[in-house]
A and B are shown apart, each in its own frame.
Chain A
Amino acid sequence: MRRFIQKYYALLKVQLSTSATQAAQYRVEFLMGVALSAFWTLSAVAPLWILFQQRSTVAGWRRDEALVVVAFFTMLKGFIAAFLEPSVNNTVEHLRKGTLDFLLLKPADAGFLVSTTRLAPWKGTDIVGGLGLLLVALRGLGRWPAPTAWLAMLAVLAAAVAMLHALWIMVVALAFVTVKVDNLTYLLGSLYDAARWPASVWRGPMAFLFSWVLPLAVMTTDPALAVLGRLQPVEALRAVTLAAAMSALSRAVWLRSITRYTSAGG
């Protein structure tokens, strides 16, 4: 076990450093990222702002409470941009060129190699932006969460990260089947947009979709509820269970798609 962890820790370090040296332009990307995340944050907050000019609460949420959800939405968006999307795109690139063969022939877990083949922390400006929004919202609410609330938040946030990773791995698995996958990551990104609203907004089939099939609502609403001190233990348990189940499922799908993989040119 210790050897296992040592190996993968060393690998992660090498992957991170090669990613960094390889992105010759990461300073430019960082600056662009800062500008873009400012605009996207504005575009995420604008409807909220207009909405709460009409109403004082929406589906049981006050403005600053809803802003906490937007804060977690923004943070996780940064996580996706920095740690999930670059790897998925790189893997798709491997598939297109047929060089995934080399990756599959390596004596290390292919799922791990694929998830870490490109990491771009400098694209995670939204993580900082989200933290900023969280502070603004907490100031607006005028109260500071208890330590237990922070702990609960970390637990459900970790579950959210695991769910996102599972979703993106499944996208890579799909890339083995369809020709063009750029659209697929785009699709997931577009669906993720729904996570900026508190989960109680959704009714009927949407509520089911976003809490069980694509548990986006859980990812951002649960951490917000935790920070606000309103998270029920059973909800926390559901988030963690769901994360475990999705990780297991994505692992199974991944292994299956590896078996089915036929590389370019047959």
Chain B
Amino acid sequence: MEIAVRALVKSYEVPVRGAGLSAALRALFHREYKTVTAVNGVSFDIAAGERVGFLGPNGAGKTTTLKCLAGLLSCTRGEVTVGGYNPSKRQEEFLKRVTLVAGQKQQLLWDLPPTDTFALNRAIYEVPAAQYRETLDALVALLKLDAVLHKPVRQLSLGERMKCELAAALLHRPKVLFLDEPTIGLDVVMQSAVRSFIKEYNEAHGATVILTSHAMDDVTALCPRVMVINRGEIVYDGSREALVERVRPGRTVKARLSAPAPAALVGALDRRGCLRAHEGATLTLEVARAELGEVLAAVLAEAAVEDLSIEEPPLDEVMAELFAKTEAP
């Protein structure tokens, strides 16, 4: 196992401060603390080369878990090993094995061209000259960086900057990638470029990828396995498809007809309870997989279908539904 986590607990003390002057004055003499448990007894294993997505609402404990894995936070209780190392000891061998890319933070030196950050990282990671050139050339080709390599970072667009962040983070050929919201703020084209790059790196080097993201498209495109974390606990750990199957067992069927749908067909579909939307010649249905054949047959029999698509329900809808369920008392 590349990563093994047993009963991980992370809690910290935060000062409690009320609003208003009297509370402020009281805080002057006596500060109250309360213990916040961000991660509460989490266990899982991740094999080398897996791509796993951490999902959950804000403050659920995703980033805390990620930081415990990276050794940026030491856990309160429990055991974490990454590549056989205890991350919180921060041994050099461990640090050379991992990397972090965070969409909201940057390691590139702001006023300098990316190459300077690359050179700095090369010195820090002690990458041999030949390997450095080879890796850099490959990254530059793959990410199409040649035009931006020598421009100061502050002049780059967000997307260009993100690609350079990726290059800076991967120069030492890490085995484990921690990605914290890597596509945040990027446009659709750039998002998919980043995703496919990560996938290529994963496949070429057998690297393990751990991803937290609010962009469900990231997770759908990258992660066959997902872990759903809510209130510091893992509420689901398994394949993404199975999760979708469990929460929204149906498939979304979209059909465009050559003429407005006949009232009888619409009525029948509605009675079955699978009609989601109906507008002129377009039908949106949600159908349990067992009934898929039956429903499709009915539609094809009653109307002339011009276009038809069958999809998994979008992951963000699945997540919304899942958390709506867990939030309800």
Contacts and interface: CB of A to CB of B under 8 A. Distances in A.
Q: Are A and B direct contacts in the complex by CB distance below 8 Å?
A: yes
Interface of A: 7, 10-11, 13-15, 18, 21-22, 24, 97-99, 101-102, 104-108, 110, 113, 258-259, 261-263, 265-266
B107 A108 contact: no
A266 B125 CA distance: 27
Contacts of B99: 105
B interface majority secondary structure? mixed
Contacts, number: 76
A11 B105 contact: no
23 contacts: A11-B124, A14-B120, A14-B123, A18-B109, A18-B112, A98-B105, A99-B105, A104-B71, A104-B72, A104-B90, A105-B71, A105-B98, A105-B99, A107-B92, A107-B95, A107-B126, A108-B124, A110-B90, A258-B90, A261-B73, A262-B12, A263-B67, A266-B64
A252 to B, nearest CB: 16
A211 to B, nearest CB: 35
A97 B107 CA distance: 11
A11 B123 contact: yes
B213 interface: no
Given A15-B120, A24-B111, A107-B124, 10 more contacts: A14-B119, A18-B109, A21-B116, A22-B112, A99-B105, A99-B106, A105-B98, A108-B124, A262-B73, A263-B67
A102 to B, nearest CB: 4
Contacts of B284: none
B318 interface: no
B183 interface: no
> Lowest 8 CB-CB distances: which A-B pairs, in order?
A107-B95, A102-B107, A107-B92, A14-B123, A107-B96, A106-B124, A108-B124, A99-B105
A7 B95 contact: no
B125 A107 contact: yes
Contacts of A22: 109, 111-112
A101 B72 contact: yes
Nearest to B94: A107
A101 B105 contact: yes
A10 B132 CA distance: 16
B126 A101 contact: no
Contact of B120 (A18, A99, A104): A18
A106 B95 contact: yes
B192 interface: no
Contacts of B52: none
B115 to A, nearest CB: 11
Most buried by B among A13, A15, A97, A104: A104
Contacts of A108: 92, 124
A101 B125 contact: no
A53 to B, nearest CB: 47
Contacts of B63: 265-266
Contacts of A266: 12, 38, 63-64
Contacts of B73: 261-263
B309 to A, nearest CB: 40
Interface in B80-107: 88, 90, 92-93, 95-96, 98-100, 102, 104-107
A11 B125 CA distance: 10
Given A107-B95, A266-B63, A21 B112 contact: yes
